Structure 1
């Protein structure tokens, strides 16, 4: 896979990067502007936080990012140094923050890994494997948390007045079904029959109304075959390490919010379990968000899921949550991406 310096810089030009950032911030601003509950008094509630809990949330966030760096380094069989692993995660998280959740930053991640010295086939395999592992976590975790928190995992509120249901349950099952199908198909293509998967894609795009996608299908089929050949023969220890790292990463992500909620209200162990479980459901719903980094969507669903625990502190808690889980990656990406581009494409 050869990408010219000119085309690479065009894609990663800092002037272009600010477009999705400003779009995301604009969506959040409009959401807050039209919310009658947002007042100066409500904003001052942010200082009522128990700062020890906020500190715990910050430490958990750092642990999560360390887990990401460990996983990508383990995935690549230590081909990446720790410094490169951290840089890849920063840029990957930035790409995810400026693209819709339904799209994600996977294409950019392949590009980044390739220019960190890993060949295209391996880069593609690692990124696809990461996506499968993350989606598999949701597919497995969702039924478990639903069983553990029967009757209380979905808040008793309607999100939209739609004839087809319009409830959080509807959006959850829609998103869960799409993720499960995607994960099943990708796993089959990557681990079982990559050539059969390509044959299926070509047959599907041979239909009259899908012919315009045939070239893309052929290219995607070839990529699956390349990626599949790169991950064959991995030992059991390899799979155990990256699987445990994936579980750690997502648990740390969710425990961060548990810490923030406990900064504003006293919650029991069972309530901690419900809050943790609801995050699994909320993230699955958010995965079909069309906005950059789920801007607007995340804030809306946060209110639906956690208002009963936080009450008047819901708004300030959502600010804290996004300040720690979303906006730092916009800032870090805006700082480090231009430097990374210059180091990779404009060396003297």
Structure 2
């Protein structure tokens, strides 16, 4: 039996790439170490307020709540064809893949693979992932004007990033809006356009052998796209609600971590966290490691009254949001490896021995 799934072209062993995990964790540890080195002062822990520390447990709860809303969105878009346990397994695998692949790629291909292993056709799995991405883009499209309007009253973009940083944020905002428009057109207005793109891609010689299968799945994707277009407006609003709640949890996490250590300007912390999370999307390193820690220090560091707490805040935030995701994700991804390759191969051997 091949280790590569014939329907998706994804190797089940590639679900866990220790090389990428090592790169991602190394970048994260090095960048956290640098932030701590440049901000740490002896005796900083003496200034911790015990009454605030339970906030870190709230942050852990919010992390799990974010997974719940993401799983709920997935199950809802799949018309409840898959149970809660499967949805959580898919989402944890998706989060894990996102943590060890470049932020510009994300874990969508692995999420599609995981859904096919849970019994959903590749075409529909691809459509569900694309609609999930589309809902994220809708949310970004709502977030951008909020940040632009708030910029008239608050320093949403830290002055420390300078002209280049401001221009970069403008490009990020513009890119998100353009991408949202492209997906909306492709999925909601003219689904046939995506099928044409897939057909063009798989005409290339090195992909031609998969063209028949992928064209058939493109038909499924188009069929599901037309099907979901018939859904009432309430369907989209509820799916957007799950997306919004998931992203609000993500935006709230850095704020909760900072406020668990010492007081701060709550409104500005939320706005900076939102802008920071949008900036995370273009960091090319695996899981954004090495870059997100620096952006945290750049966006939220100036709002932390004790500079020596910046490194501590970055450390606590990454442990809660990143390392927990990797731990839970490895467990979830291992299930697919064991049940997709190891399990069937073992059963095949046992059958041969019996014969």
| CA 318–149 in structure 1, closer or farther in 2 if over 3 Å, else same | same
Looking at structure 2, the residues matched to 46 and 109 of structure 1 have their Cα atoms a distance apart, in angstroms, of 43
- Counterpart-to-counterpart distance in 2, 1:122 and 1:197: 13
Matches within 5 A, 1:126-165: 126-150=128-152, 151-158=154-161, 165=163
Whether the 8 Å CA contact 2:285–2:291 is kept in 1: the answer is yes
- Aligned counterparts of 2:47 and 2:324: Cα–Cα separation in 1: 18
For 1:236-263, what per-residue CA distance to the aligned partner results, in whole angstroms no more than 9, with x for missing partners? 3321211111111111111222211111
Selected match of 1:237 from 234, 238, 242: 234
Deviation at 1:337, TM superposition (A): 1.8
Residue correspondence of structure 1 range 140-219 to structure 2 within 5 A: 140-150=142-152, 151-158=154-161, 165-167=163-165, 169-196=166-193
Cα distance in 1 for partners of 2:208, 2:172 equals: 28
Per-residue deviation at 1:196?
4.0
CA apart distance, 1:130: 0.4
Aligned to 1:21: 21
Distance (Å, rounded) in 1 between the aligned partners of 2:109 and 2:294 = 28
Partners of 1:149 and 1:274 within 8 A in 2: no
What do the CA deviations read for 1:115-159 (whole angstroms, capped 9, x no partner)?
101111110110000011112211211211331342410111036
Q: Identify if the C-alpha distance between structure 1 residues 89 and 175 changes in structure 2 by more than 3 Å, giving closer, same or farther.
A: same
Once residues 180 and 282 of structure 1 are traced to their aligned partners in structure 2, the CA distance between those partners, rounded to angstroms, is 17
User: What residue in structure 2 maps to residue 76 of structure 1?
Assistant: 78
Instruction: Report the 3-state secondary structure (helix = DSSP H, G, I; strand = E; otherwise coil) of the residue aligned with 2:104.
Output: coil
How far apart, CA to CA, are the structure 1 residues paired with 2:216 and 2:161?
44
| RMSD over aligned Cα atoms | 3.2
- What TM-score results when the alignment is normalised by the length of structure 1? 0.84
Select 1:322's aligned residue among 318, 325, 331: 318
| Deviation of the 1:28 alpha carbon | 2.4
Written as runs of structure 1 = structure 2, the 5 A alignment for 1:1-348 is: 5-8=2-5, 11-13=11-13, 17-34=17-34, 36-37=37-38, 39=40, 41=42, 44=45, 50-150=52-152, 151-158=154-161, 165-167=163-165, 169-196=166-193, 226-231=220-225, 232=227, 233-267=230-264, 271-310=265-304, 311-345=307-341, 346-347=343-344, 348=347
Aligned pair in 2 of structure 1 residues 139, 326: CA closer, same or farther (>3 Å)? same
- Gap regions ≥5 residues in structure 2: 348-355
Encode CA deviations 1:97-124: one digit per residue, 9 max, x unaligned: 1101000111111111011011111101
Q: Counterparts of 1:185 and 1:223 in 2: how far apart (Å)? A: 21
**Cα deviation per residue 1:69-106 (whole Å; 9 max; x = unaligned)?**
11111111111111111111110100111101000111
* Number of aligned positions between the proteins: 331
> Partners of 1:122 and 1:15 in 2: how far apart?
21
- SS of the residue 1:273 aligns to: helix
TM-score by length of 2: 0.82
Structure 1: gaps spanning 5 or more residues = 160-164, 206-210
Classify 1:45/1:236 alpha carbon distance in 2 versus 1 (closer, same or farther; 3 Å).
Answer: farther
Distance 2:294 2:119 in 1: 41
1-side partners of 2:86 and 2:314: how far apart? 32
1:162 maps to none
Task: Tell me the distance in 1 between the aligned counterparts of 2:192 and 2:263.
Answer: 55
Query: For residues 246 and 336 of structure 1, what CA distance do their matches in structure 2 show?
Result: 22
